[in-house]
Amino acid sequence: MCPIPSFLLSDVLADEEAAPPNTRRAFLAQATALGATLGGVALVGCNTPSPQGTSSNGAASNGAAANGADSGHQPAGGGAPGATVANPDSKLDTMQAHGSHATTAGTAGAAAAPPYRRYDPTLPPLASGRTLQLHWEAREVPLHIRPDTVIHAWTFEGDVPGPIVHCRVGDTVEFTLTNRGTLPHSMDFHAAQIDPKTAFRSVMPGESVTYTFRPRYAGAFLYHCGTSPVLMHLGSGMYGAIIVSPAEPLPAAKEFVLVQNEFYLNPAENGVQSSDYNKMLNRNPDIVAFNGRPGQYQTEPIRVKRGDRVRFYVVSAGPSHPCNFHIVGEQFDSVYLGAPPGSAIHGVQTFGVAPGGGMIFELVADVAGEFPFVNHGFGHGQKGAIGFLVVEV
Ligand SMILES: [Cu+2]
């Protein structure tokens, strides 16, 4: 038996507190109806997961988009609309305040997690065509973030961060999200300019949402689940980077994507640590990481050759803290604060990337050696946001 997602109940409780006494009877009737709906939802969510063979990864994706991917700029909803969608409006989700949020620890133990592996920070090449078709799945899975640490992650495509997307200004991105989890989920691309009420709305388990957008600005952008409470969904792993290259290419470089995030974790049950919402509210993380694994690029550094131009796309997923990006022993020749190439400042030691933001850091690696790249807010660097850039002769 699967529990009713508690944050959906908190929607009800919030309504109850707001309801004046003379409408309490109406509220109770509404809550009963919602409870009946949720019962059905819980059964859907507890079914054996559906086959996941239709998903595809990253910019080279050719996955078939469901629910009308060829619908141009008109977002097309998937599944049954209306009554069964408890929080259909992601704009409202973002603005909702919740006092508490229980965790969903999941039923799979640590043994069900795939082996630990380094997250490849390499920027994928651009696709040859000008249209990207991405058909992704939201999944709740056990995931190694260190060789000895498994978390119950809420994910896009089973990983934290989700896949790196790479496209150009003016490309067409046809995106479909199918929810294979047990909770509502959604997708908010910061590279899009689109009506969030429809495109970024939440979809229930087993359902899909499809929308299309064309990025207008180049840069390093965050994407994330926007379902209420956003803090919990983003903080549990539902985020990633979409890199939009300018129409006129930047100088050739070795290009890497670093997405910083914080983990706020409960003690392990069955070998798996779940996310702690109250810790998230208090903003004192247990772990801070680049690309979802603390210290991974210390043990397996990023390597370039002397003389290479190196470009880091740094995105801060948060959910609450910035990334004060710095490379020990180096300076950035250019930092692009907004859309490159018109927004560069030069000769920079450290620059803060706000949560929900992204910037581009560039240097020519003309000195050989081992250079730590860090969040120079060292309370966070010490919690895992440190790696090595190795410049080989
Ligand atoms: Cu979500």
State the first-to-last Cα distance of the chain, in angstroms, to the nearest integer.
Answer: 59
367: amino acid identity, one letter:
V
Say whether pLDDT at 370 is over 70.
yes
Per-residue pLDDT tens over the stretch 378-390:
888 889 999 999 9
CA-angle at 239, arms to 233 and 242, nearest 5°: 155
Put residue 170 in one of left, alpha, beta given phi > 0 → left and psi -120 to 50 → alpha: left
Task: Return the structure tokens found at 247.
Answer: 């129409």
Q: What is the pTM of this model?
A: 0.78
pLDDT at 301: 98
Task: Return the structure tokens found at 53.
Answer: 């063979």
Tokens 């997690």 appear where? 113
Dist. CA 379 → ligand 1 center (Å):
28
CA distance 305 to 313: 19
Dist. CA 330 → ligand 1 center (Å):
38
CA distance 24 to 47: 35
Task: Return the structure tokens found at 257.
Answer: 């994507």
Dist. CA 189 → ligand 1 center (Å):
13
Q: What does the pLDDT average to over 126-153?
A: 97
CA distance 131 to 65: 12
Dist. CA 255 → ligand 1 center (Å):
29
pLDDT at 8: 34
Dist. CA 323 → ligand 1 center (Å):
23
Dist. CA 233 → ligand 1 center (Å):
5
Contacts of 135 (CB under 8 A, 6+ apart): 54, 55, 56, 61, 63, 64, 65, 66, 69, 176, 178
Cβ pair 168, 246 in contact under 8 A = yes
Closest CA to 228 of 11, 3, 33: 11
Per-residue pLDDT tens over the stretch 256-301:
999 999 999 999 999 999 999 999 999 999 999 999 999 999 999 9
pLDDT at 10: 34
Per-residue pLDDT tens over the stretch 291-329:
999 999 999 999 999 999 999 999 999 999 999 999 999
